Copies of this chain bind each other. A is one copy, B any other.
Amino acid sequence: MTAYDELMAFQQQTEALGQVAGRLGWDQETMMARGSAGQRAEEMAAMQSVLHARRTDPRLGAWLGQIEDATLDAVGQAQMRHIRKSYDRARKVPAALATEIARVTSRAQGQWAEARAAEDVAAFLPVLKEVVRLKREEGQALADGGDVYDAMIDDYEPEMKAATLQAMFDAMRPRLVALRAAVLEKGPGPKLRGAFPEDAQMALTRRLAEQFGYDLNMGRIDKAVHPFSSGSGHDVRITTRTSADDPFNCFYSTIHEVGHACYEQGIDDAYALTPLGQGVSMGVHESQSRIYENQLGRSRAFTGWLFDEMRAVFGDIGVADADAFCRAVNAVHRGYIRTEADEVQYNLHVMLRFDLERGLMGGDLEVDDLEAAWNDRFEADFGYRVDKPSNGVLQDVHWSVGLFGYFPTYSLGNVYAGCLHEALRRDVPDLDARLAKGDTGAATAWLRENVQRHGGLKTPAQTIEDASGMVPSPEPLLSYLETKFTALYGL
C-alpha cells in the first residue's frame, strides 16, 4: 500500500463515521422518543469526539507529508485538496475552543428556542454574545490574519469571499425590491380552497419525489418539523411536513429536499465514502434544491401538470384553471419569515442576515444593537415593521448554533440555479413540453451529468462555470424572475 492508499483507507472510515453521525441526527428528528434526548446528546458527543480525533490524527500528518500531489491524477489531487484543507482547519482551532463552542452553542440553541417562544430577545442576548465572541475567536484562528468572515464562509462555500457576495447582492437588491413592490401592488393572488387529507398529501408527495428522480430504493421520506435532507451516497433520506390547509407546503418542501437528495445520489459512485463523495458546497447544494423547487417545480409548464394531478387526488381545489393555479403556486404575500418566502422576496431576507452577521463578525455591529438593526433594515426593504421577535431576529436557529457565513449560501444557490437554468433551457429546447407532461427526466439528467456527478471534484464556482458555460453572475436569476413575474402578474 502506498501512503495515498493508506490515507484513503483511513479517510473512507472517517467518511463512514460521518455518515453514521448524520444518521443519528436524522433519527433524532424523525424517530427518537423525547425521553431519549439526554442519552442521545452523549452519543453525539462521543461520535464528534471520535471524528475530531480522526481529523487531527498524527498519521494524517505523516501521510500528507509523504504524498506528492503532482504524482496523482486529477481525482487524487482533488482528494488531497480536500484532505489537506480539513486537516489544516482541524488543527488551527484549539481543542479547548472547539469544545467550548460545542458546549455554548448546545446551551444557546435551547435558550434561543425558549426566547423565541417567549418573544424575549433580551433573554437570548447574553448567550448570543458568548457565541459571537467564541465564533470570532475561531474565525481569527482560521483566518491567519485574513478576513474573519471570509474564513467562516469558507467552511460552507470554499474559496468564496464576502466581497464577491456583496457585489452580487448589491446588483440584486434594488431590482428585487422594485419587482417585489410591483407584484404586491397587484394585490393577493388566488388561493387554494378544498380538503387536503394529510395521507393523500404524503402519497402524492412520494410520487412527486420519484417523478423528480429521487431513488427511494436508497432513501426514504418521513415527516419532520423542519424538512431536511440527510446522508450521502447510497443512503440519502429526506423529510417533509404536511399542513392540512396548505398542500404546497408539503409538495414544495419535498421537491426542494429531493433536489438536495438527488445531488447526493447523483454523485459518481467511484467517489463514495471519499471527500469527493458529497456535495461540494452549500451554495451548489442549494442551487440543486432551488432549481428543482422553483425553475422546474414552479414553472407554468410543470404546474399545469400538477394542477391536473391535484384535482384527480383532491377533487375541487378552489382555483378555476391552470393559469390561476400557477399564480397560486407563485403567490407573493406580505410576510416576515424567510422559510415561507416566495422566489421574489426570499433573497431580500437572506441579504439582511448577510449584512448583519458580517457586521457581528467584523466587529461593526454589537449584539446589543442587533434587534434594532434587524428591524430597521427589514422596514427599509419590506416597507413595514417587524411585529414580534419570532417574526424578526429570533426566527432562525442558525446564529444560536454558531452558523455564521452560512446564510449567504442560500442566495448564492439561487444565483447558481439561475445560471444553470439558462444553460439547461439552451440545451433542452423542448423542456416546457416535457414539464407540461410532468416529465422532469431531461432536466434532472442534464443536472446529474453537468453538476451532480462531479461531487467535490472541482471548486464550487468552477462546477457552476463548467456546467453553465458562464462565470456565475446574478443576471440570469434576475432576468428569469423579472420575466416570470411580469408575465404571471401582467406587470
Pick from B31, B33, B215, B216: contact of A218, CB below 8 A: B33
Considering the complex, give the chain B residue whose CB is closest to the CB of A219.
Answer: B33
Min distance, Cβ A267 to any Cβ of chain B, angstroms? 13
Task: Give the distance to chain B from A43, nearest Cβ to Cβ, in Å.
Answer: 5
Chain A 266-296 interface mask (CB, 8 Å, partner B; 1/0): 0000001100000000000000000000000
Q: How far is the CA of A217 from the CA of B36 in the complex (A)?
A: 8
| Chain B CB within 8 A of A226 CB | no
**In the complex, how many angstroms separate the beta carbon of A113 from the nearest chain B beta carbon?**
15
Asked whether any CB of chain B lies closer than 8 Å to the CB of A313, the reply is: no
Does the CB pair A39–B217 fall under 8 Å?
no
| Chain B residue nearest to A24 in the complex (CB) | B20
Question: CB-CB contacts of A15-39 with B at 8 A, as 1s and 0s?
Answer: 0110110011001000111111011
In the complex, what residue of chain B is closest to A13 when comparing beta carbons?
A: B46
Q: Is there an interface contact between A235 and B272, defined as CB atoms closer than 8 Å?
A: no
Q: Tell me, yes or no, whether A200 is within 8 Å of chain B by CB.
A: no
Bound CA–CA A341/B35 (angstroms): 35
Minimum CB–CB distance from A387 to chain B (whole Å) comes to 32
| Bound Cα distance A43, B23 (Å) | 11
Is the CB of A40 closer than 8 A to any CB of chain B? Answer: yes
Q: Contact at A13–B49, with CB atoms within 8 Å?
A: yes
Total count of chain A residues near the partner, CB < 8 A: 37
Pairwise interchain contact A17-B46, C-beta atoms closer than 8 A: yes
Q: Given the complex, which residues of B lie within 8 Å of A31, measured CB to CB? A: 31, 220
Contact B17 A273 (CB under 8 A): no
Q: How far is the CA of A323 from the CA of B460 in the complex (A)?
A: 72
Q: Is A167 an interface position by the 8 A CB rule?
A: no
When chains A and B are docked, how far (Å) is the Cα of A126 from the Cα of B43?
36
Complex Cα spacing A77 to B431, Å: 72
**Smallest CB gap from A51: residue in B:** B50
Q: Given that A20-B47, A32-B235 are contacting pairs, would A12 and B220 also be in contact in the complex, using a CB cutoff of 8 Å?
A: no
Does A64 touch B at the CB level, under 8 Å?
Answer: no
Q: How far is the CB of A257 from chain B (nearest CB, A)?
A: 16
* Chain B hits for A12, CB < 8 A: 42, 46
Set B50, B215, B272: member contacting A35, Cβ < 8 A = B215
In the assembled complex, A115 has its CB within 8 A of some CB on chain B = no
Q: Which residue of B lies closest to A272 (CB)?
A: B39
Least CB distance from A215 to B in Å reads 7
Is A234 an interface residue when CB atoms closer than 8 A count as contact?
yes
Contact (A218, B36) CB under 8 Å given A17-B50, A24-B23, A31-B31: yes
A306, B34: Cα distance in complex, Å: 30
Chain B CB within 8 A of A45 CB: yes
A16 and B235 contact, CB distance less than 8 A: no
Complex Cα spacing A36 to B220, Å: 10
Is A233 close to B, CB under 8 A?
A: yes
Closest partner residue, chain B, to A32 (CB atom): B235
- Which of chain B's residues have a CB closer than 8 A to the CB of A217? 33-35
Which residues from B are CB-within-8-Å of A218?
33, 35-36
Complex CA gap A17/B31 in Å reads 19
Chain B residues with CB under 8 A of A43: 16-17, 19-20, 23
A and B contact pairs by CB, cutoff 8 A, 28 listed: A13-B50, A14-B46, A16-B39, A17-B43, A17-B46, A17-B50, A19-B39, A19-B43, A20-B20, A20-B43, A20-B47, A32-B220, A32-B235, A33-B217, A33-B219, A34-B217, A35-B215, A35-B217, A35-B234, A36-B218, A38-B234, A39-B233, A39-B234, A39-B235, A39-B272, A39-B273, A40-B235, A42-B273
A16-B43, A39-B272 provided; 12 other pairs, C-beta below 8 A? A13-B46, A13-B50, A16-B42, A16-B46, A17-B43, A20-B20, A20-B43, A23-B43, A35-B218, A39-B233, A39-B234, A40-B235
